[in-house]
Amino acid sequence: MTTRLEASDRAPRTTAEGHDGVELDDVCFAHPGRGRGAAPVNAVDGVSLSVAGREIVALVGPSGCGKTTLLELVCGLLRPGSGTLTSAPAVLMPQRDLLLPWLDALDNAALALRIHGAGRDAARASAQPLFGAFGLEGFERARPYELSGGMRQRVAFLRTLLSGKPVLCLDEPFGALDALTRAEMRDWLGTALTFEPRTTLLVTHDVEEAAVLADRIIVLTPRPARVAAVLDVPLPRPRRGTDPAIVALREQALEALGA
């Protein structure tokens, strides 16, 4: 996992000053109501948070609380209704892997490189070394439907990483996996982020996942999302879900969630 990402050289960067962080100040957002005359639905209500470069922040909250909306705001897919949001270029890894069925695994991983203008061979060559490092060796030519859920998720993460953007917004990356694969992928992501450090916003509703992976846990309220609590995780890595300190943090987070 020592391969550097060549995509970072090619991708547009606005981080010349080294600002790889994300800054939200009193950000609000409401989805327009469905149907004629329906009232807008408040999704994010006055969220302020600051993420430093290469920091991993987990956003934890009940289902449907507006976590995904928050990530889409950071990625520029939505504009805040009010408040200010400044962020280095951010890329979204959506909840579903959304691998394109007409491309093989390696082409899917290299999609961002192709979009940034690389030819097919060059893009594949750049993505190839990471395939080995991510435990996907031998599956380059596999079609997405031939891959297991965990592998699809790895390809999707690789695709996100190869966009070259300094901020990763991961929206419940393991939400659709079974418990066993989920634990395995959690450790895998932890390792991947140690070797390819990025500013990371990780949305999850699994507090243990948050405690194992993040430097900081931000607990959100039910819709509309507000910051309910901020928990620092000053623990050495690699961490395990069974570590007493992690278990204690889990309790704290669950308490903040009101569970």
Partner 1 sequence: MIAAFLILLVLIGGWEAYARLGHVDEFILPAPTQVATALWDDRGLLWHNLLVTAQEIGLGILLALVLGALLAILIHLSPTLRRVVYPLLVGSQAVPIVIIAPLLVVWFGFGIAPKLAIIALVCFFPVVVTTLDALAAVDPEQRKLLHTLDASRWQEFRWVEAPAALPGALSGAKIAVAIAVIGAVFAEYAGSSAGLGNVILQAIPQLETARAYAAVVLLAAFAILLFLLLSLAERVLVPWARRDTEWSRR
Residues found near partner 1 in the complex (CB under 8 A)? 11-12, 72, 75, 77, 91-92, 94, 96, 98, 100-102, 111-112, 114-116, 143-145, 159, 163
Nearest to 193 by CA among 157, 236, 159, 240: 157
Measured distance CA(130)–CA(3) in Å, rounded: 7
Nearer to partner 1, 12 or 236 (CB): 12
> 7 near 198, Cβ under 8 Å?
no
Task: With H, G, I as helix, E, B as strand and everything else as coil, classify residue 166.
Answer: coil
CB of 255 vs partner 1, minimal distance in Å: 34
> 68 near 203, Cβ under 8 Å?
yes
Task: With H, G, I as helix, E, B as strand and everything else as coil, classify residue 94.
Answer: coil
Nearer to partner 1, 167 or 207 (CB): 167
Nearer to partner 1, 98 or 245 (CB): 98
Nearer to partner 1, 71 or 249 (CB): 71
Measured distance CA(45)–CA(112) in Å, rounded: 33
Measured distance CA(155)–CA(7) in Å, rounded: 16
CB of 76 vs partner 1, minimal distance in Å: 8
CB of 14 vs partner 1, minimal distance in Å: 12
CB of 107 vs partner 1, minimal distance in Å: 10
CB of 239 vs partner 1, minimal distance in Å: 29
Nearer to partner 1, 97 or 208 (CB): 97
Place of tokens 């916003």: 201
